[in-house]
Chain A
Amino acid sequence: MNITTKTVDEIAFLARLEFNNQEKESIVNDMNKMLNFVNKLNEVNTDGVAPLIYMTNAHDVLRPDVAVATLTQKEALLNAPKKDSDYFKAPKVIG
């Protein structure tokens, strides 16, 4: 797999990021280096090995089904870059 500026554009959109042309050149270069580096993993035989997904043996960790108020609306809105008294304010979605 070779990363091109087209790949960077596609991945950047998925990640909701953008890069100017100069940054793009260096990110193409960095990602190719990083992929080349991680391609090394293909040397490890993992036939029949299940992926390790959970780092603890805990299963079905549940709490009693009781509603608890942990944050007030005011607290939840405290750090919103734009808000009114009750809502987060986002820009218009449909023009």
Chain B
Amino acid sequence: MKNFQSIAKVQNLLLQQKTISCVTIVQQYLDTIKAHNPTINAYLEVFETEALQTAQTIDAKIANGEQLGSLAGVVVGIKDNIVYKNHKASASSKILTNYISIYSATVVERMLEQDAIIIGRLNCDEFAMGGSNENSAMGNVLNPLDITRVPGGSSGGSAAAVAANMCLVALGTDTGGSIRQPAAFCGIVGLKPTYGLVSRYGAIAYASSFDQIGPLAHTVEDCARVLQVIAGADAFDATLAKTQVPNYTKDLTLNTKKNIAVLRTSIEHPALDPEVKTAIVNKLQDLANAGHTINYVDFPNIDYLVPTYYVLTTAEASSNLSRYDGVHFGYRSPNATDLQTTYIKSRSEGFGTEVKRRIMLGTFVLSAGYYDAYYAKAQRVRRVLKNEIDAILATNDFILMPTTPSTAFTFGAKKDPIAMYLEDIYTVLANLVGLPAIAIPCGVHTNTMPMSIQLMSKAFAEAELLSFTHQISTINNN
């Protein structure tokens, strides 16, 4: 597999040395996709002709000495729940199999404006609900590092495509870890931005107070470059902060000493693999040796994270997914006889098991008589959690945690839904409190799979978070 490694390296070859054309770059990715996608199943569709045409346009711009965008020559895959005008977007669901988007997500528009090349759409768990990509109606994605193992989810196709060099960077969405957990399982970097930094316009909604779009890439620096393009106010998403987007790449090498909090309960948790724990402890020692301050803090509420997450996200999902009615767009059951059965049969035949399970729980917790006991209770717990985390981050720059309790597991290993949900124990926190978090590789387990650490910062402190993780990743590589 040809690995261009980073945006800077591709652009150096394309724009400075001029030793490779954009068409050749795209062709190499297409060749890799043809060789590996039949096994990995990361791409649901490859926009071959169109990607080559875009590449020709970029080559012509280079030949004419025209100004190029910051993502010129960057081959991108997009998760199948991010819409692109005149292209299919199915959220890996039978109910949207033939849906053709009539508009583009803001992030897609912004990437294209900067001369990125969108090469295809990437498999995921249906409606982004899952942590192993086993819930896709379009088949499993296999982990390119070991095809007997899951790539993680829900952005499993995005992580696998980057790891297998079938694109340079990918876009995913993260509602409870769906960018960071697959990045961890595939040995790459994944960033979930602060809630309100990146427009959700054109992201097929799962849980609207949790969802964020973000990048998956080989390096922290590439995540910074993509975030620079996709972040910032948008008239189509009223939840976005109006603040100026800082320059994320300018201060990447800024080396200042940081205060890093470690939640005792996170590294003492019984679910944590002992080798992953050792890797974290060693990393903390390295950071202390490098002059950073490590503060161990109490966080007794760790076991309430996943239950809070599941009450709130299933409630929001049950509401968001009510739009699939078999009338306006999407699958309509041929077995329906009237309006009521059109709704019921189209939805029951169109949605997969996990999606229906979550709609059912969400409908229940919102129903009369249970709303206060479950939904409002979880919203109150969410505030308790946010206050506690805000207090920790008032005196610390970052919170460092494992990204996942273990490395990528094998297919079928988590048959019980609760066991699968507990895989999210370290990732749901950032979404519950709306803060940015990044997963970066942290060594290799004796089972040969990559391990990963996660750092979370204050809201809108991505510049600091990226700069720090860029430095500690560079130490990793030396």
Contacts and interface: CB of A to CB of B under 8 A. Distances in A.
Interface of A: 1, 3, 7-8, 11-12, 14-19, 27, 30-31, 33-35, 37-44, 46, 49-56, 58, 61, 63, 70-71, 75-76, 78-82, 88, 90-93, 95
Interface string B335-365: 0111111111101100100001101110111
Given A37-B418, A38-B374, A80-B328, 15 more contacts: A15-B360, A16-B325, A16-B340, A17-B344, A33-B416, A33-B417, A34-B417, A41-B307, A41-B311, A49-B384, A52-B383, A52-B386, A53-B379, A55-B209, A78-B102
A49 B235 contact: no
Q: Which of A39, A46, A71 has the most CB of B within 10 A?
A: A46
B348 A51 contact: no
Interface in B301-326: 301, 303-304, 306-308, 310-311, 318, 322, 325-326
Given A18-B345, A90-B327, A61 B238 contact: yes
Contact of A90 (B342, B344, B373): B342
Contacts, number: 169
Interface in B103-145: 103
Contacts of B376: 51
A54 B308 CA distance: 15
B contacts with A: majority SS: helix
Given A17-B344, A50-B383, A82-B332, A27 B239 contact: no
A46 B379 CA distance: 10
Interface bin, chain B: 35 or more
Contacts of B332: 81-82
10 contacts: A1-B373, A17-B359, A31-B361, A38-B378, A56-B434, A58-B240, A75-B102, A79-B99, A90-B339, A93-B338
B367 A11 contact: yes
A58 to B, nearest CB: 6
Contact of A17 (B310, B342, B360, B434): B360
Interface of B: 98-100, 102-103, 195-196, 209, 235, 238-242, 301, 303-304, 306-308, 310-311, 318, 322, 325-332, 336-345, 347-348, 351, 356-357, 359-361, 363-365, 367, 370, 373-374, 376-384, 386, 416-418, 421, 434
A34 to B, nearest CB: 5
A58 B329 contact: no
A12 B235 contact: no
Nearest to A74: B102
Contacts of B379: 51-53
